[in-house]
Amino acid sequence: MKNLVVLTGAGMSAESGISTFRDSGGLWDTYNVEDVATPEGWARDQKLVTEFYNIRRRELQQVKPCRGHELLASLESQFNVEIITQNVDNLHERAGSTKVCHLHGELMKVCSSRDPNNPRYIETLPPDHLEVKMGDLAKDGSQLRPFIVWFGEAVPNIERAAELSSKADIYLIIGTSLNVYPAAGLIHYVPEDCPIYLIDPKPVQWNSTHRLNHIMKGASEGMEEFIRLIKD
């Protein structure tokens, strides 16, 4: 089977009703990024940050994977599909995708605030207990914090994502502006002879010698066209 490596961003989940962060009307218009998505914000007000992610989890429970998520999952019958996502939701998994590398953490998980990436202290919250409260502790005795890679923190899975990108036979990018590093740098690991497809309704600045096949549609319509193109 050929390796289909997929890099997804906020535009992938936007069709499911998940608020994007950067677009007009997005979460950063409502919240100050420094307050809820940085280690410094956590140090200042753990309660505010904890409640911010409690709200995000409640929102996630109210939405479903979009057609684009489902079409991507369906390709596992034809390709070895490896998804690299900048999204912290679990919509890829809920749609049926089995190999998902989360670059920026996972909303449905919590971890130690003392040692965030230690797998011994990472827990998946059960569907009936998604609220984290002050005083809820990780197994090392520290306050539970969201298992999210905040601004200013290292991205633990970036090396794995680069390795996956380097083995791609087909590379597909969905719903990301390619402005956010280190994820935007992954295209530089893609083999020179590997075709790259981009699904995004907006023009995207392309800084690569690779030829780009830009499908200017949303995630679901774009996935339908992508499947037609690779079948031809």
Q: Could you confirm whether 104 is annotated as catalytic?
A: yes
Burial class (CB in 10 A: 0-12, 13-18, 19+), 67: middle
Catalytic residue among 69, 92, 102, 104: 104
Q: Which residues of 32-51 are buried (b: 16+ CB within 10 A; e: fewer)?
A: eeeebbbeebbeeeeeebbb
The two tokens of residue 24 are 């007009």
The two tokens of residue 48 are 């505010």
Q: Which helix (H) or strand (E) holds 55?
A: helix 46-61
Q: Taking a C-beta distance cutoff of 8 angstroms, is the pair 115, 126 a contact?
A: no
Closest of 186, 191, 142, 141 to residue 7, by C-alpha: 186
The two tokens of residue 214 are 């830009």
C-alpha torsion sign, points 5, 10, 15, 18: positive
- Which stretches does DSSP call E strand in 45-127? 80-85, 100-102, 105-112, 123-124
Using CA atoms, how far apart are residues 204 and 215, in angstroms rounded to an integer? 11
**Residues labelled as active-site residues:** 104
